[in-house]
Chain A
Amino acid sequence: MTRTLLTGNGAAAWGVRLAGVDYVPAFPITPQTEIIETISLWIDAGEMDCRMVTLESEHSMLTAAGAAAAAGVRVFTATSSQGLLYAMEMLYTVAGWRAPFVLVNVSRGLSAPITLEPDHNDILAARDSGFLQIHAATCQEVLDSVIMAYRLAEDRRVRLPVIVNLDGFYLSFTREPVTLPEAAAVKRFVGPFNPENLRFRASQPVSQAVAVLGGSPYSYFRYEMHLAALNGLRVFDEISDEFARDFGRRYDAVEAYRADDAEFVFVMIGSFATKAVDAVDRLRDAGRRLGLVRPRLLRPFPEARLRELLLGKKGAAVIDQNISMGKGGVLFAELASALYGQKDAPTLTSFIGGLGGRDISLEEFYEMAAVTRQAAQTGQAPPPRLLYTEDELREMRKLQAVAQAERHRLGGNTA
């Protein structure tokens, strides 16, 4: 067991290496590229027995990943943002094949306007694809989640592909101390891939692209995927128990930090949740009973566990690093549906922030706690708060004034 400094991308690559992956179809995109670069260096140096193929797009990359998994080999691939969206058609398709493999998505805000920095709209666009989703908050968790994801995907009660998500920059390019588990222990933990009926044999063709007309057979296949995804809850619990036993690190489907005796909690996913941990500690020091509830597993959605953790609390501040235009935060809506009609449900407040990598400051966490406390007292939740300050708008107005002056000079629309 070595403890070393690794970026989130490096940690993902180590997870892949230790899981004994056979095949990696690849296509580069910032901020993911370091993952496949690292793997390709290892393959070149003979340190990893694996085949890597570069494809001409993410759409083809996902097709290759699904096809290889359907041929019975252990597959890994990675992408980000626009790449994930470009591959979206195949995400839904290969999930329907029930071919298990692991995809790492390094979250990055979507165009337009284009950016490099993270938020969760990319990964949430894949929410209903049939891929299960594990969201990591630290580099260690990235490595461990990749390993656990193979167990989850390949379990015969599930057999669906799994996405492990990490935030661009705040994890992908950030080095933290990471413990590398022993290769032999991981090999034992993950085990060999049992592809069951998935195979490729000469002269024995199998078609994954079956057509069904009339809603009934179609419904059957879709419902079966849903049931398999729901099985993922129990299977994930088993895997995390086993992982904790073998490696001493525990990853529940929902992380609950100082939540047991908390009156109020922050609810969020991804790496900024560590900032919430910091805020919780500091608010506790100031005598406030705060906690953090972080769904690690987003699909399947750990509804029952979230109810257990949240019912009886006075309030929950849901922080969404995504925005569904014309609705609001996706996580807020998911959580509200899980708590609707339940006795002793907390007052929910909604905050949208951290889009395109915008920081969420400690002071903003304190203020979100204060707003939620106030809402619980009055029983009246304020409208969703789009985190944005006076200073930010002032800077934006300056840029717009420049653009306006230029439009004027260029004789364009000056209105």
Chain B
Amino acid sequence: MAKIIVMTSGKGGVGKTTSSAAISSGLAMRGHKTVVIDFDIGLRNLDLVMNCERRVVYDFVNVINGEATLKQALIKDKRIENLFILPASQTRDKDALKKEGVEKVLDELAAEGFEYIICDSPAGIEHGAYMALYFADEAIVVANPEVSSVRDSDRILGILQSKSRKAEKGEHVEEHLLLTRYNPERVEKGEMLAVEDVQEILATKLLGVIPECESVLKASNQGVPVIHDKSSKAGLAYDDAVARLLGEEKEHRFLTAEHKGLFQRLFRRSA
């Protein structure tokens, strides 16, 4: 049975696409056949982050409209076996997504033997975001530790539990909270919400905390999902999150600020 997971947030720019790329890569690395779908029709980004923009021939909308087969549109990742990307159309808009069409593609992917279908949602709560979350079995809500992002996440959780297919059937969509761009130093100074504050407001199970890290921007620009970077904190934190998604117990790390000693500072300066 394929598991459909939506990566959503309400607010834009919090790291949905980065997280979609990292988590789908992580699942595939652990041997699960995974596809990641870009629902951001008209603002296609996932292909850049996954470094396959030059290999896009057909896209999601083509498949929905029957202009191409699923096999033609799926792009196989060059680094990891078992990982496929279904890119968004750059020349269309969100209205090209119809519920029946999306359902048909998801069913076809499940029939192809995909274990995980990751839906990278566009920002907002309009049609595109609604289509991305409607069929979800589980949801990863991406939030930054600041009030507006947390408020929007709360809103999207409400929509998820009232408007999705599972909700219409009276079932519960499993929720996971992924907190990104977490900076423990700034939390200590009181400039950022702490993990506990966010969890108190959202009352949702914590999947992972991704520390703010230079490696994330670098990874996006180079088109290598950050989870491949085993020397970066963000990469390790995503790896932990994937393990938790698969049911493993992992302790959360990178939650507290490192207090640098004098020697470390001197060493850093000379380095």
Q: Is B a genuine binding partner of A?
A: no
Residues of B participating in the A interface, judged by any CB pair closer than 8 Å? none
